[in-house]
Amino acid sequence: MKKIAAFSILFLFVFAFWTCSFSSKPDGGLPKLNDWPDAQTMNQKIGRGINLGNALDAPNEGDWGVVLQPGYFTAIAKAGFNSVRIPIRWSNHAKSTPPYTIEQTFFERVDWAINQARKNNLTAIINMHHYLEIFSEPQAQKERFLAMWKQIATRYQKQPADLIFEILNEPHDKLTPDLWNDYAAEALQVIRETNPRRAVIIGTANWGGIGALNQLQLPKDSLLILTFHYYSPFHFTHQGAGWVDGSDAWLGTTWSGTMQEQQAIRKDFDTVNNWAIAHHIPVFMGEFGAYSKADMDSRVRWTSFVAREAEKRGFSWAYWEFCSGFGAYDPNTNQWRPELLHALIPEK
Length of the chain: 348
- Percent of the chain at pLDDT above 90? 89
Rg, the chain, Cα only: 21
Cα-flanking dihedrals φ and ψ of residue 289, to 5°? Answer: 170, 165
Q: How far apart are CA 122 and CA 132, in angstroms?
A: 29
Q: Is this model's pTM higher than 0.85 or not?
A: yes
Beta strand residue intervals within the chain, DSSP E: 48-51, 83-86, 123-127, 163-166, 200-203, 224-230, 283-288, 316-319, 329-330, 335-336
Q: How far apart are CA 343 and CA 325, in angstroms?
A: 17
Q: What is the DSSP letter of 30?
A: P
- CA distances 266 to 236, 259, 289, 307, Å, are 17, 10, 16, 11
- pLDDT single digits (tens) 247-303: 999 999 999 999 999 999 999 999 999 999 999 999 999 999 999 999 999 999 999
Any bridge partners for residue 123, and if so which? Answer: 83
CA atoms within 13 A on the CB side of 336: 19
Any bridge partners for residue 330, and if so which? Answer: 335
Q: What average pLDDT does the chain have?
A: 92
Domain ranges of the chain: 40-344
Amino acid at 335: Q
Which class is 40-344 in CATH?
Answer: alpha beta
Active site residues: 170, 287
Of the candidates 90, 152, 160, 83, the one whose C-alpha atom is nearest the C-alpha of residue 124 is 83
User: 277 versus 22: which is more confidently predicted?
Assistant: 277
Of the candidates 179, 215, 214, 186, the one whose C-alpha atom is nearest the C-alpha of residue 200 is 186
